[in-house]
Amino acid sequence: MNATNPPPSPAGIMQLITGSWASAFLGAGASLKVFGHIEKGKRTAEDLAKVTGTSVRGMKALLDGLTGLGLITVAGGQYTNSPEATAFLVEGKPPYLGAFAKLMIADFATSDWAKLPDAVKAGGSTMPPLPEVEDNPFWHELVPAIAPLAVPSAQAAVGALGFAKAGAASILDVGGGSGAFSAVMLQANPKATATQADWPGVNRIAKGIVASFGVGDRFKTLDGNIHKLDYGTAAWDVVVYSHIAHQESPATNVEIFKKFRRALKPGGSLVVNDFIVNDERGGPPFALMFAMNMMLHTKEGNTYRESDYRAWMKEAGFKEVLIVGTQGPASLAIGR
């Protein structure tokens, strides 16, 4: 075999085949607070087993897996968190993603993803649909778990809009979930105010999260179905629409974008935060994979292209559309 053309390696394929193992290792590490204990000085398998109430054998196997994933390192029997684990997997820190990791492995074996070939054949979920209710217990786990994902997108929006110098601007955050997007914008501009429209149970969660950012006094909520609520006319400087467009059909998105255009003041901006794919549907990777999640869990949802958002916003009356990347997996489509 020519040394300059080595044979294909199965390593990448094997990594994909065992991808669920990685999720399980991460979810188990988060559930047992391994990363937090390491941060506090519990650096050996024996110490970690003791503080987590697990067997030494089990803890060693877990630590081996987390080391293999690059989430921790080991030297002389002492374990250390990677910079990423320290930043995102230590409970109590604002960008903590461990709760999301725990949530993702909770029912993987019985979820739609385990029956993906059947769903692909059917063109949709083969599981009974979940009812849409005003307060779903699942939201009490999901909403706080994904709150950190809003932070890099909100930071990008602050920069793109020049929001820190926007003065007494008003934000309407439609389907804002955790309220973290609004909270970051309010932190950037101490004169701004925000109102979140969402289900009552979600809004109650959001109030607590926003208060933890120290801006709860400038955050209000509007309870109800986001498609049926009245947002007024020329009432808001910024409308934020985060991770809802991917659940809807193109026609529904155009309809609500028109509603947002009416609700905005002259010169106002619509900020859509979502997993947006490029026009060739060649990337980004997470947005491409998330399309399958929408096929499994919505009637008409998808991850849409940059050109889709441009066309929908133009049809809704926006003159200028800007696509902005972020430090997270989402992108922004900003209409003015």
Q: 36-45, 131-140, 146-155, 229-238: lowest mean pLDDT where? A: 131-140
* Arithmetic mean of pLDDT, 31-48: 96
Structure token pair of residue 1: 């075999």
pLDDT given for residue 198 in this prediction: 97
Q: 91-95, 207-211, 230-234: lowest mean pLDDT where? A: 91-95
* Arithmetic mean of pLDDT, 34-57: 95
Question: Beta-carbon neighbour count of residue 331 at 10 Å?
Answer: 22
Q: 14-28, 158-172, 272-286: lowest mean pLDDT where? A: 14-28
pLDDT given for residue 326 in this prediction: 95
pLDDT given for residue 162 in this prediction: 98
* Arithmetic mean of pLDDT, 184-197: 98
More confident residue, 91 or 133: 91
Of the chain, the percentage scoring pLDDT greater than 90 comes to: 70
Question: Beta-carbon neighbour count of residue 239 at 10 Å?
Answer: 26
Of the chain, the percentage scoring pLDDT greater than 70 comes to: 95
Burial 205-228 (b: 16+ CB within 10 A, else e): bbbebbeebebbebbebbeeebee
pLDDT given for residue 106 in this prediction: 73
pTM of the model: 0.83
Reply yes or no on whether the pLDDT at 129 is more than 80.
no
Using DSSP, how many helices (H) and how many strands (E) does the chain show?
Answer: 15, 9
pLDDT given for residue 132 in this prediction: 65
* Arithmetic mean of pLDDT, 141-159: 93
pLDDT given for residue 206 in this prediction: 97
Reply yes or no on whether the pLDDT at 143 is more than 60.
yes
* Arithmetic mean of pLDDT, 120-145: 74
- Map out the domains of the chain with their CATH numbers: 11-99 (1.10.10.10), 139-335 (3.40.50.150)
Reply yes or no on whether the pLDDT at 329 is more than 60.
yes
3-state secondary structure 45-85: HHHHHHHHCCCHHHHHHHHHHHHHCCCEEEECCEEEECHHH
pLDDT given for residue 2 in this prediction: 57
pLDDT given for residue 130 in this prediction: 58
